[in-house]
Amino acid sequence: AQSVTQLGSHVSVSEGALVLLRCNYSSSVPPYLFWYVQYPNQGLQLLLKYTTGATLVKGINGFEAEFKKSETSFHLTKPSAHMSDAAEYFCAVSATPRNAGGTSYGKLTFGQGTILTVHP
Amino acid sequence: EAGVVQSPRYKIIEKKQPVAFWCNPISGHNTLYWYLQNLGQGPELLIRYENEEAVDDSQLPKDRFSAERLKGVDSTLKIQPAELGDSAVYLCASSFSLAGGFTDTQYFGPGTRLTVL
């Protein structure tokens, strides 16, 4: 079974500071990895995803994440925080087509989320 | 292009009452998902449809929850009777899937926030 752990349910940064949101996964084989953002009273929006290829993935709004197989991590970063980045961020995993059994491919397993606060 | 549409956005009911949520996926998306999101938690999959077929309903509490996607487009999720613990946000998502397992990005609707009193 796959699982996701997001370290820190709340992260607070100053505007212009580095944003680092941590995500570790547990999976017997490397999965696909995702970061979603959720603004208040809205659905989840995909920030970026890793499937294959380059392990450093760039997403929308200046975010990027690096897949580190040896550390089973997929941390999300942004060099300079903006007030509009304040939201809740979710890391998620899914099985790859090669490793999925039965109906499990496409199923997203989410972490518990990290609320990002940005101070002026 | 319109996104995933859900209605209602908010619903308040008393316990033991029935409730239904509706979802219209993005045009052309053959796969539809219902997720449950409790306060302070990440979404959890309830049921996944590929066209009209429920291919994964292992997490759906079938004693009180039911879902349908009769024509392979929009879907309805029902709870009967509702319990206090059902208060949560119910999210619908859709994606495009090919035979053989490829599933594209899941796009989420705004959700329905259910409050059971």
Residues A39-71 have pLDDT tens digits of: 988 889 999 999 888 899 999 999 999 999 999
- β-strands B88-95, A10-14: how paired? unpaired
Contacts of A90 in chain B (CB under 8 A): 42-43
Give the mean pLDDT of B75-95: 96
Q: Contact B112/B7 with Cβ under 8 angstroms? A: yes
Task: State residue A59's pLDDT score.
Answer: 95
- Given an 8 Å threshold on Cβ–Cβ distance, is B97 in contact with A106? yes
Report whether pLDDT(B54) > 60: yes
Contacts of B107 in chain A (CB under 8 A): 46
Structure confidence at residue A19 as a pLDDT band (50, 70, 90): very high
Task: State residue B72's pLDDT score.
Answer: 86
- β-strands B65-68, B112-116: how paired? unpaired
Give the mean pLDDT of A84-110: 77
Structure confidence at residue B71 as a pLDDT band (50, 70, 90): confident
- Distance between CA atoms of residues A20 and A76, nearest Å: 6
- In B1-117, DSSP assigns E strands to 5-7, 10-13, 19-24, 31-37, 44-50, 53-56, 65-68, 75-79, 88-95, 107-108, 112-116
Structure confidence at residue B100 as a pLDDT band (50, 70, 90): low
Mean pLDDT, all residues of chain B: 92
Mean pLDDT, all residues of chain A: 89
Contacts of A110 in chain B (CB under 8 A): 42-44
* pLDDT over 70 percentage in chain B: 95
- Given an 8 Å threshold on Cβ–Cβ distance, is A43 in contact with B4? yes
The DSSP letter of residue A105 is T
Give the mean pLDDT of B82-109: 87
End-to-end CA distance of chain A: 41
- Given an 8 Å threshold on Cβ–Cβ distance, is A107 in contact with B48? yes
Task: Give the count of beta carbons closer than 10 Å to the beta carbon of residue A56.
Answer: 11
